[in-house]
Amino acid sequence: MAAAAEPGARGWLGGGSPRPGSPTSSPELGAGSRSRSGPGSGPGSGPERSGARPPGPAAPSHSFRKVTLTKPTFCHLCSDFIWGLAGILCDVCNFMSHEKCLKHVKTPCTSVAPSLVRVPVAHCFGPRGLWKRRFCSVCRKGLEAPGLRCEVCELHVHPDCVPFACSDCRQCHQDGHRDHDAHLHHWREGILPSGARCELCRKTCGSSDVPAGVRCEWCGVQAHSVCSAALAPECTFGRLRTLVLPPACVRLLSRNFSKMHCFRIPGSAAPEPGDGEDSADGTVSAGPGREVGAPESGKQTLKIFDGSDAMQRNHFRVVTVPRLARSQEVLEAALRAYYIPEDPQGFQLQAVPTPAQPGDTEAAGKVWSVGPAEEEGCRAAPEAWVLRALPRTQEILKIYPAWLKVGVAYVSIRVTPQSTARSVVLEVLPLLGCQAEGVEGFQLVEVHMGSRQVQRMVVADEELMLDRLREIRQTSLRQMSQTRFYVAENSVLAPRVSLFVGGLPPGLSPREYRSLLDEAVASKAASVTVSHVYSAQGEPLQTEARSGQRSPSEQAGQPHPLASPRWGPRGAVVLDVACFAEAERLYMLVRDTAVRSRPLTALVLPEVLHTKLAPDCRPLLVFVNPRSGGLKGRDLLCSFRKLLNPHQVFELTNGGPLPGLHVFSQVPCFRVLVCGGDGTVGWVLAALEDVRHRLACPEPAVAILPLGTGNDLGRVLRWGAGYSGEDLFSVLLSVDEADAVLVDRWTILLDAHEPAGGEDSEADAEPPKIVQMSNYCGIGIDAELSLDFHQAREEEPGKFTSRLHNKGVYVRVGLQKISHSRSLHRALRLQVEQQEVELPSIEGLIFINIPSWGSGADLWGSDSDSRFEKPRMDDGLLEVVGVTGVVHMGQVQSGLRSGIRIAQGSYFRVTLLKATPVQVDGEPWVQAPGHLIISAAGPKVHMLRKAKQKPRKAGPPRDARADGAPAPEGDPK
Ligand SMILES: [Zn+2]
Ligand SMILES: [Zn+2]
Ligand SMILES: [Zn+2]
Ligand SMILES: [Zn+2]
Ligand SMILES: [Zn+2]
Ligand SMILES: [Zn+2]
C-alpha cells in the first residue's frame, strides 16, 4: 500500500475527519460515517459494509489472522524482531505485526488505501530496474526481481502490483480545482535510513528489513506511523523551505495528462488509455503473497478475472485454494487478490469458458456453487473464473467536493434507481453549503485514479447513477475501487495547457512559426495560440550536452568532432492550447516530427503563480544533464525531484535550459543549480544570457554540481571535482548557504575563411559564429588531446564513467602524440589589444579566465610577476599561456611547472593559418583557417561559491537524511 495514510490522522481525506477547528458537519457528511465506524476505523467500514469480514481489533481494514512463523520476521509497526512462533498477518497486504502492536496499527490496508488518498495524483514509473532493500508498496514484499520506481516520489512496486498502486504521488501543483488553505504533511510509509529518528519520540523509526515508519514527502520529517498522528498537520517544507517551489504556487491544468508530459521519463511506455496495466506478456500472474507454480497437493490454482476488460486483455490474477475449499473461501480469496474490501455477499464467481471450449455455453453461465455435491464440481471446475458484482437496487455513494476548503472529505448519499447525475449534484450541493441559485454551474465528474494516470470525465446530467456504477463494475472491479465522484464547478474545468515546442528553425516571426506548425502538425487554429517566441536559442557545443538525436550528417558516418561545432541557434515557441485533446494530440505528434531535418521537442509546462510565493522564497531552478558523467544523471534527477518540487527540476535533454527558464521567467527571485560538466554550465549560462531581458530576475546566481571530468569552474567555486554520491540534501543546504561571486564571461567570434570540412568540401566559407566562454579557450595541443579523448568516449561511452579512469585515458592518448611536431607558433598569429605579440616556440596556446585548467591544474602559476596583474575571475582580463607539448602539459598537471606566461588583456585576435584543433571550456573541434576574436561578453555572471566553513556543526546531520542520496545500486536497465 502506498500511503501511510492513517485514517485517523488529520490531513488525510477520505477518513472523513474534518480539519481541526472546521465547522462541525451534519450527520450526512463524511464526518458522520466517522462517528459510526469509530476513530481510527477505515472508510471501508462505512454504512455500505455489512461487516461480514472479521473486523479485528485493528481498524484500517486489514484481514489479520494469527500465523505460525517459519522464518525470522520483523514487525511492520515497531520494526522489531518478532520473537516466538506467532505473528499477526494481513492476508491481503502482508502487513506483519506483533500481537501486542496490533491495537496501534493505523497503516491502512492496500484494499482501502485508494479511498484515503487526499488528492489523487498519478505516478510516473520509469523503466524496470533492480533496487536493493526496497519494498513493494502494494504487497509489502521485497523487490528481489526487477521492479518499477516512480521517478517523482520513489514509490517502488512489482510490475504485477502496478495496477493496484495507490495514486497518492506527491501533489506538486494545483490543477485549478482547489486552493488549499494550508499545506499539510504528505506522509508516505517508506524505507527510512536505519538510523532515522522519530520526530516525536526521538527513538529509531527506520528499518532496512521491513517497510516501517513514515516520512513527509515535502519536509522530510520522519516518524513512527503511530507518532505521526500526534505531530502538527501543517508542513513547513523543513530546512529546504527557501529552495522549494511550493505546490500551491504551481498551476497545471491536467485533465488527462500524466506527469510523463512534463518530465518525459525515458524508457517507460505511455499508459494505455483507461488502464495502468504493465505486463510484458499481458498477464498478471502472481496473486498477492502467493507464488505461482504447481500448487501443493490438495490445492488448486485458479485464474481470476475482475471484469470484461480483464478478460478481453487476458489479465488475470492467480489464487491458490484448497481443493475442497468452500465457495465462500474461494470468493474471499478472489476478492483479496483484487484488493476489494467489500462484503463478499455482493459478489459471485462465474465460470469463464476456456479457449478450448469456446462454445461451452453451459460453463459460461455457471456460477461457483456450494454444498457437498460440489466437491466433485470443484475438482472438475474450469480454471478461469470472473468475479462479478451482484446487481444492487440501491447503494451509498460518496461524493467529494472538488475543492478542499469545506472541511469535509465527502458526502455520503443514497443512490436509487431514479438517481441521475443531476439529482445527485442537486442533493449534494446544499450539504456542502452551496446556495441553490448557483447549482447550474456544477457538474458531476467521475475520476478514475489509476496508478499511472488519473482520468476525469464529466458525467452526463441525465445518466442514471446505478447504471453507471454497474457498468464500471462490469468492466473492472478494480477500477470501481479506484473510482471517485466529485462535484466540480464548470468554470474551473476550462482547459488551458502551455506546450513548449523546441528545435524549430531560428529567427522566424510568430506568424511564420504559426504557419510552420500548422504545416508540420496541423495545429487547430481555434484552440491554439503562440504565446511566446524564442527565436534564437543557443545549442550546446558538442558531445557532452548532446541530446540523444544525431544529426543526419552524423548518422551518415561523418565523425562529428571534425565538423564545426553544432551551436547553431534554434527557435522555440510556447503554445497556449485551450483544449486538452488538442494539447495531447500536439504533444504526441510534435515528439515524432522533424522540421528541416531537426527533431522537435515537446514539453508541457506548468505555470508558476509568482505572486503567491513567500517574500523570502528564492526557489532553486535545477538543470540536470543526464548525459554528463557516465549517465549517472537519472538518479540525480529522481532524487532532486523527490527533495524539491519536481516542477523545478529540468532535464536538459528535453529541450535544453529554455523550458526551465521560461517557467521561472516571472519569479521575482530565484537561483539556479546546474548538474553537469563545464560544457553544461556554459550551455546554461549562454541560454541565460539569451533570455536575461525577459526574466523578472535577470541575474540569478548559479551553483554547480559537477558531473563527469574536468569541472574546472566547479573546482574554483569549491563545488568539488565531481559528484560521487554525496547526500543531496546537504548539497542543497550548501547551495542555500553559498555566496554569490562575479565571474567574467567572454565571447569568441569564429570567422573561418574556408569550411572546416577540408579540401574536398564543396561548401562556401561558413558565416561567422559566436561561442560563449567562461573557463578557458585552448588552441593546439590541449584541444587536440581532448578531441581524441572525445572520439574515444563517443566510441565506447561505457568505459568512461570514472573520473580517474578518464584521466588515465587522457594521458595515454597524449603519449601517442609525442612523435608529432608541429610548431604551433608558426601556424598562428596573436594580437593583444590590437598589438602583435611575438610567440615563443609552443605547441599550445591557452586563454584562461579561471585559475583551474585541465581538471584542476594551475596553468598560470602562483609566482608574482611585475609584468602582469594578479589574475582574478572578475577583473575583465584573460591570461594567455603557452605550453611546449605533451610533456610540459603533464608537468603542469602534476604541479611541477606552470605554463609560459605570454600576455594579459581583454581583447584578442588570433589568426589561424591552417586548420587547428580548438577547445572552449573543454569542448573541442577542428577550426578552419581564419580569425578568432575574443572579447568580454556583456555583464559578468553571478556564480554561487560554496561557503568555506562547514555549514552545520560537526556530527552527522540530524536524522541522517541519507534518503536524499540516489537509490543505492540503482540499475536503470
Ligand atoms: Zn511490533
Ligand atoms: Zn492489509
Ligand atoms: Zn509517485
Ligand atoms: Zn508487490
Ligand atoms: Zn511535511
Ligand atoms: Zn515515535
**What HEC string does 114-172 produce?**
HHHCCCCECCCECCCEECCCCECCCCCCECCCCEEEECCCCCEECHHHHHHCCCECCCC
Identify the CA nearest to 483 among candidates 524, 434, 444, 449: 449
Mean pLDDT of 902-918: 92
DSSP, collapsed to helix, strand or coil, labels residue 292 as coil
The span from the CA of 425 to the CA of 413, in Å, is 10
Ligand nearest, relative to CA of residue 122: 3
Residue 800 CA to residue 803 CA, distance in Å, equals: 8
According to the model, what pLDDT value does residue 967 have? 39
Instruction: Tell me the three state secondary structure of residue 901.
Output: strand
**Residue 522 or residue 670, greater confidence:** 670
203 CA distance to ligand 5 centroid (A)? 19
How far does the centroid of ligand 4 lie from the alpha carbon of residue 287, in Å? 9
Number of other residues whose CB lies within 10 A of the CB of residue 320: 19
Q: Which ligand is nearest to the CA of 110?
A: 2
The predicted structure's pLDDT at residue 751: 87
- Lowest-pLDDT choice from 114-123, 315-324, 549-558, 868-877: 549-558
pLDDT tier for residue 779 given thresholds of 50, 70 and 90: very high
Angle at 899 between CA 893 and CA 905, to 5 degrees: 125
| Half-sphere CA count of 216, side-chain side, radius 13 A | 26
Q: Is 362 helix (H, G, I), strand (E, B) or coil?
A: helix
Residue 929 Ramachandran class (φ > 0 left, ψ -120 to 50 alpha, else beta): beta
Q: What is the mean pLDDT of residues 394-404?
A: 84
pLDDT at 716 over 60: yes
Question: Do the Cβ atoms of 224 and 177 come closer than 8 Å?
Answer: no
pLDDT at residue 384, as a whole number? 87
pLDDT in tens, 508-520: 888 889 888 888 8
Query: Which amino acid makes up residue 809?
Result: V
Q: How far is the CA of 338 from the centre of ligand 2 (A)?
A: 12
Q: Which ligand is closest in space to the CA of residue 75?
A: 1
Residue appearing with cell numbers 520494526: 79
Q: Cα–Cα distance between 213 and 198 in angstroms, integer? A: 8
pLDDT category of residue 621 using cuts at 50, 70 and 90: very high
Cell readout for 830 is 596573436
Q: Near ion ligand 1, which residues have CB within 5 Å?
A: 75, 77-78, 98, 101
User: What Rg value do the Cα atoms of the chain yield, rounded?
Assistant: 32
For residues 733 and 951, is the Cβ–Cβ distance under 8 A? yes
Q: Could you give the 3-state DSSP secondary structure of residue 397?
A: strand
Q: How confident is the model at residue 701 (pLDDT cuts 50, 70, 90)?
A: very high
Give dist(CA 659, CA 669) in Å, integer: 17
- Torsion sign (Cα): 691, 692, 693, 696: positive
Percent of the chain with pLDDT over 90: 29
Say how far apart CA 61 and CA 105 lie, in whole Å.
10
Is the per-residue pLDDT at 734 higher than 90? Answer: yes
Other Cβ atoms less than 10 A from the Cβ of 559: the count is 13
Binning pLDDT at 50, 70 and 90, where does residue 678 land? confident
- Ion ligand 3 — residues with CB under 5 Å? 123, 150, 152-153, 155, 169
- Kindly report each contact of residues 521-524 with a partner whose C-beta sits within 8 Å and lies 24 or more positions away, as own/partner: 521/586, 521/589, 521/590, 521/593, 523/575, 523/582, 523/586, 524/579, 524/582
| CB contact at 8 A, 573 and 518 | no
**Cα of 158 from ligand 4 centre, angstroms:** 4
Inter-CA distances, 805 with 708, 799, 818, 887, Å: 11, 8, 21, 20
Please state which of the ranges 106-120, 149-163, 464-478 shows the lowest mean pLDDT: 106-120
**Cα(179)–Cα(400) distance, rounded to whole angstroms?**
15
The H or E element spanning position 589 is: helix 580-591
Q: How far apart, in whole angstroms, are the C-alpha atoms of residue 240 and residue 218?
A: 9
Q: Is residue 385 within 8 Å of 351, Cβ to Cβ?
A: yes
Task: Calculate how far, in angstroms, residue 215's C-alpha sits from the geometric centre of ligand 5.
Answer: 8
Whether the Cβ atoms of residue 135 and residue 211 lie closer than 8 Å to each other? yes
In the chain, what percentage of residues exceed pLDDT 70? 74
Q: How far is the CA of 75 from the centre of ligand 1 (A)?
A: 5
The answer on pLDDT for 876 being more than 80 is yes
- The letter for the amino acid at 272 is E
Question: What spacing in Å lies between the alpha carbon of 212 and ligand 2's midpoint?
Answer: 14
Choice between 271 and 293, residue whose per-residue pLDDT is larger: 293
Tell me what pLDDT residue 462 has. Answer: 92
Contact by Cβ (8 Å): 415, 466: yes
Q: What's the CA-to-centroid distance between 94 and ligand 2, angstroms?
A: 6
What's the predicted TM-score (pTM) here? 0.80
665 versus 822: which is more confidently predicted? Answer: 665
Closest C-alpha to 386, from 314, 481, 446:
314
**With bands split at pLDDT 50, 70 and 90, how would you rate the model's confidence at 752?**
confident
**Residue 968 CA to ligand 4 centre (angstroms):** 20
Q: Indicate if the alpha-carbon torsion angle 86, 90, 91, 96 is positive or negative.
A: negative
Take residue 131 and report the three cell numbers written for it: 533496487
Q: Are 932 and 750 in contact (CB under 8 A)?
A: yes
Work out the number of other CB atoms within 10 angstroms of the CB of residue 317.
Answer: 27
pLDDT at 539: 58
* The three grid cell numbers given for residue 902, joined into one nine-digit string: 605570454
Supply the pLDDT for residue 723.
87
Confidence of residue 212 (pLDDT cuts 50, 70, 90): confident
pLDDT at 732 over 90: yes
For residues 116 and 43, the answer to whether their CB atoms sit within 8 Å is yes
Question: What distance in angstroms lies between residue 216's CA and the mean position of ligand 3's atoms?
Answer: 13
* CB-based contact 602:806 (threshold 8 Å): no
Q: Which residues of 365-397 are buried (b: 16+ CB within 10 A; e: fewer)?
A: ebebeeeeeeeeebeebbebbbbbbeeeeebeb
Average pLDDT over residues 800-826: 55
**CA separation (Å) from 422 to 445, 458, 463, 490?**
11, 11, 8, 13
In degrees rounded to 5, what are phi and psi of residue 416? -115, 175
CA–CA gap between residue 925 and residue 876 (Å, rounded): 26
- CA distances from residue 197 to 182, 204, 235, 360, 776 in whole angstroms, order as listed: 26, 4, 18, 61, 47
Counting every residue written for the chain, the total comes to: 973
Q: Ligand 5 centre from 217 Cα, in Å? A: 6
- Grid cell, residue 835, equals 598589438
The residue that leads in pLDDT, 281 or 719, is: 719
pLDDT at 364 (0 to 100): 47
Q: 107-121, 257-271, 338-352, 451-465: lowest mean pLDDT where?
A: 257-271
> Residue 74 Cα, ligand 1 centroid: separation in angstroms?
8
pLDDT in tens, 19-43: 333 333 333 333 333 333 333 333 3
By the 8 A CB rule, do 912 and 754 touch? no
d(CA 754, CA 842): 25
Whole-number Cα distances in Å, 127 to 131, 150, 970:
12, 9, 12
- Is residue 244 predicted with pLDDT exceeding 80? yes
CA of 201 to the centre of ligand 1 (A): 16
DSSP string spanning 675-717? EE-HHHHHHHHHHHHHHGGG-SSSS--EEEEE-SS--HHHHHT
CA distances from 349 to 71, 373, 679, 776 (A): 35, 17, 63, 74
- pLDDT over 90 (residue 106): no
- Position 283 pLDDT exceeds 80: no
**Ordered DSSP codes for 225-255:** HHHHTTS-SB---GGGTTTS--GGGEE---S
| pLDDT number for residue 422 | 92
Query: 204 alpha carbon to ligand 6 midpoint, in Å?
Result: 7
Q: What separation in Å is there between the alpha carbon of 400 and the centre of ligand 1?
A: 35
Q: pLDDT averaged over the chain?
A: 77
Report the distance separating Cα 39 and Cα 415, nearest Å: 26
Which ligand sits closest to the CA of 287? 4
Q: Are 340 and 115 in contact (CB under 8 A)?
A: no
- Pair 599, 502: CB distance under 8 Å: no
Please give the pLDDT value at position 180.
Answer: 58
Q: Using one digit for the tens of pLDDT, what is the confidence trace for 175-208?
A: 655 555 678 898 888 778 778 889 999 988 888 8
Phi, psi of 536 (to 5 degrees): -145, 110
| Ion ligand 6: residues, Cβ under 5 Å | 198, 200-201, 224, 227
Q: How far is the CA of 552 from the centre of ligand 4 (A)?
A: 44
Q: Bridge-partner residues for 574, per DSSP?
A: 500, 532
User: Ligand 1 centroid vs 8 CA: distance in angstroms?
Assistant: 19
94 Cα–ligand 4 center, Å? 10
Least confident of 46-55, 120-129, 188-197, 338-347: 46-55
Helices (H), 455-579: 465-475, 477-481, 510-521, 552-555
| Beta-bridge partners for 703 | 673
Question: What is the per-residue pLDDT for 436?
Answer: 62
Q: How far apart are CA 750 and CA 477, in angstroms?
A: 66
- CA-to-CA dists, residue 693 to 339, 613, 657, 661, 662, angstroms: 55, 22, 15, 12, 12
User: What is the whole-number distance in angstroms between the Cα of residue 228 and the centre of ligand 6?
Assistant: 7
